[in-house]
Structure 1
Amino acid sequence: MTDTTIASVPASTADTMEEKLDRYREARRAVWLLSRSFSSMLGLAIVVVFMILAVFGPWIAPYPEAALGSVNMEEMLQPPSWQHWFGTDDMGNDVLSRVIIGTRISLQVGLIITLGAALVGVPLGILGGYLGGWVRSIIMALTDLFLSVPSLVLAIAIVAVLGPGIVNTMIALAVVWWPGYVRLIDSKTLAIKEEPYVEAARALGASTPRIIFRYLLPGCASPLIVKASMDMGAAILAAAGLGFIGLGAKAPSPEWGAMLSVARGYLPEWWWFAIFPGMAIYLSVLGFNLLGDGLRDVLDPRTSR
């Protein structure tokens, strides 16, 4: 009866079940490899903590009204205490509350910049690598043009034209971020398109969109995930840098870079005003970098055994 049941299963269904089992085994292997790395798990823990703060920040913060830039001169520049764990700022606002609520802003900025750059760079990289010829020449020439200018300098120039503000900062950084994705995906596509299964699909008459979405894009997923995870930290740092020089978010926004921009005038006597937003930037960048390193070790085929 069992043999009859197995024989009655269509070949396509059996293949699908086998593919699902293979994906399940690969996922278990990836989780196992990631869990063996202390630095990767530390990075994951840091990222999870910041994500929790981003989602539930307004309910976790002890003084949520501090994010609105209220003025309480009686509490101005109070050192860390049981009432204000991170002290207070120049307006008497609780620094801990502003750092917690600012987590949502910083993570949103990093996510939007990374997604925006990927949405531009990934399609261009796949099209250039797969089609080749004059299409690739034009795409790579445009990419090289953007890469010839330091990204932060170009972002500052774009923000100067558009005007200071958090939205213009995200637009500027996304504009200068996409060439890295083009380079990465183009090189990966050039390697994948020569694989036998892609050649077979092309020989069987598969359309270009089907080849791209069925074979090329999934093949580029591993390096894309690694780069995106590491770019999150870099984007947060870059946005904070623009905020620090006055081109990003403006006070009283609790964005970490803007908080540092105001706090630098109060160093070194009122050190807590600057050190805690700075530590938030440092830890978030560290967390995403450690997680990205761990994902690279797991997803890199050269580490497979």
Structure 2
Amino acid sequence: MPLASEEVYEKKLLDKITDKIVDMIAKIMDKIRPGWIAKNRSRINEWKLMFYAFNRSPPGVIGAALILGFILIGIFGPYFAPYSYRDFLYIKYRETYLVPPGTTVVSKGKTFYFLLGTDKYGRDLVSLILYGARVSLVISMIVIALGVPLGIILGLVAGYFGGKIDEIIMRITDTFLAFPALILAIAFAAVLPERLRPMIIYNEQLKTILSVFFAADPKDAANFAPILSVILAIIIVWWPGYTRIIRGSVLSVRENLYVEAARALGVSTWKILTRHILPNVISPVLVLITLDVGAVILVEAGLSFLGLGAQDPMVDWGKIVYDGAQFFPDRWWLVIFPGLATFLAVLGWNLVGDTLRDVLDPRTRRSIEFKIKKKKPVPSSEEGGSSQ
């Protein structure tokens, strides 16, 4: 008698890895909130299915690999850099001036090898790119960590309460959206440094924290002000988009029956917003966040290219390109390599964002899930009875 069959997911190596990650997160949540796994079993399975769909997307996997590389280089790169960003070798070794990639320099009894060449100060370009990755990573993470929650909170409040509160918040949002974001960011980035510099210089704790964040020497504390100005400038122009998206989604969700039932049961407004409304409007925000990290990296690099970001001797990718532009195309490596690093980092976030858009859409995700199901033969009940 032919065997019956059931459909199961054919797991690959990435699926097993993501399963372990999800299970680890679930165990952590269960320790924080005992019984969490039992109550959220379906949610855990849904997370695993989303990862299965994500793992079947080559662009998404490539993007995740690029993001992982960017994060690792941003965190650990400065500690493995061959030289410090403050090593101005040209002062003592004149032969290190604008050395092309792959060159070995012997000067005054010392030997130097520069894989990607040097800049006009004789600084190793590999080291500058590694230090620049830290600055780009910190800026993008701070902007997203501060700008996104601000936009989400304002959008939830405006959409849920409506009336005058909605009118005030949306008019302020429209005012910010009326200005070109880059122009507004340039204006704030140009004005803020002089106001932030005294606060940084005379606050030892803040100076120490920023030195660790940017992997910089405390001697360069005065140069933290332009970088902080760029962060604040981008945050100021970044939250309105999230407010508009969340507010529009909340307007459609707040009239659903489960929200009305929560109100009737006397559930607090905060719990309604965070437990019933926010989980149902967060999907487009997650996609937008991944796309916006790449956009923040580009805007930050653009502001630095205009001279409003990192100042000598500190570096970021836009500053390296700005310094090398005057020597391009003869000294092409000063523009190509930091530009390539920026391109790969932004490409990674964009690829992941496009893939998440498909994974978080139930219709597209289900179509991907059906493709990865495999029929597995199982003994039928009749066969089991006959064997006995």
TM-score, reference length from structure 1: 0.90
Alignment partner, residue 54 of structure 2:
34
Aligned residues: 289
Bigger share in strand: 2
Equivalent position amino acid for 1:74 in 2: E
Query: Please, which moves more after superposition, 107-116 or 231-240?
Result: 107-116
Alignment partner, residue 226 of structure 1:
287
Superposed counterparts of 1:2-13, under 5 Å: none
Superposed counterparts of 1:253-264, under 5 Å: 253-264=314-325
Alignment partner, residue 302 of structure 2:
241
Alignment partner, residue 81 of structure 1:
102
Alignment partner, residue 154 of structure 1:
184
Alignment partner, residue 43 of structure 1:
63
CA distance in 1, matches of 2:151, 2:100: 46
State the Cα deviation string for residues 202-258 of structure 1 (Å, max 9, x = none). 111111111112112222332222111111110010011000010111122121111
CA distance in 2, matches of 1:32, 1:133: 43
Give 3-state SS (helix, strand or coil) of 1:68's partner.
coil
CA distance in 1, matches of 2:254, 2:359: 23
CA distance in 2, matches of 1:169, 1:69: 25
From the superposition, tell whether residues 301 and 276 of structure 1 become closer, same or farther in structure 2 (CA, over 3 Å): same
8 Å Cα contact 1:188-1:220 kept in structure 2 = yes
Give 3-state SS (helix, strand or coil) of 2:115's partner.
coil
8 Å Cα contact 2:50-2:365 kept in structure 1 = no
Tell me how far 1:70 sits from its aligned partner.
2.3
Alignment partner, residue 262 of structure 2:
201
Alignment partner, residue 350 of structure 2:
289
From the superposition, tell whether residues 69 and 137 of structure 1 become closer, same or farther in structure 2 (CA, over 3 Å): farther
Give 3-state SS (helix, strand or coil) of 1:246's partner.
coil
Tell me how far 1:302 sits from its aligned partner.
4.0
Give 3-state SS (helix, strand or coil) of 2:116's partner.
coil
8 Å Cα contact 2:301-2:318 kept in structure 1 = yes
Alignment partner, residue 278 of structure 2:
217
State the Cα deviation string for residues 41-98 of structure 1 (Å, max 9, x = none). 11100000011111111233222x2x12523232111111162221111111110111
Pairing 1:143–2:164 present: no
CA distance in 2, matches of 1:108, 1:127: 29
Pairing 1:252–2:282 present: no
Equivalent position amino acid for 1:37 in 2: S
Equivalent position amino acid for 1:39 in 2: P
Give 3-state SS (helix, strand or coil) of 1:165's partner.
helix
Alignment partner, residue 4 of structure 1:
none
8 Å Cα contact 1:222-1:299 kept in structure 2 = yes
Equivalent position amino acid for 1:198 in 2: V
CA distance in 1, matches of 2:178, 2:311: 30
CA distance in 2, matches of 1:23, 1:251: 49
Give 3-state SS (helix, strand or coil) of 2:267's partner.
coil
Alignment partner, residue 210 of structure 2:
none
Pairing 1:279–2:310 present: no
From the superposition, tell whether residues 106 and 200 of structure 1 become closer, same or farther in structure 2 (CA, over 3 Å): same
Alignment partner, residue 8 of structure 2:
none
Give 3-state SS (helix, strand or coil) of 2:244's partner.
helix
Aligned counterpart for 1:134 among listed residues 164, 168, 171: 164
CA distance in 1, matches of 2:252, 2:65: 34
Alignment partner, residue 42 of structure 2:
22
TM-score, reference length from structure 2: 0.72
Tell me how far 1:278 sits from its aligned partner.
0.7
From the superposition, tell whether residues 304 and 18 of structure 1 become closer, same or farther in structure 2 (CA, over 3 Å): farther
Alignment partner, residue 124 of structure 1:
154
8 Å Cα contact 1:242-1:248 kept in structure 2 = yes
8 Å Cα contact 1:158-1:172 kept in structure 2 = yes
Query: Please, which moves more after superposition, 292-301 or 265-274?
Result: 292-301
8 Å Cα contact 2:88-2:123 kept in structure 1 = yes
Any unmatched runs of 5+ in structure 1? 1-14
State the Cα deviation string for residues 181-202 of structure 1 (Å, max 9, x = none). 1011111211221222111101
CA distance in 2, matches of 1:301, 1:127: 27
Query: Matched residues, percent identical?
Result: 43
Pairing 1:57–2:77 present: yes
8 Å Cα contact 1:146-1:179 kept in structure 2 = yes
Alignment partner, residue 20 of structure 2:
none
Query: Please, which moves more after superposition, 150-159 or 210-219?
Result: 210-219
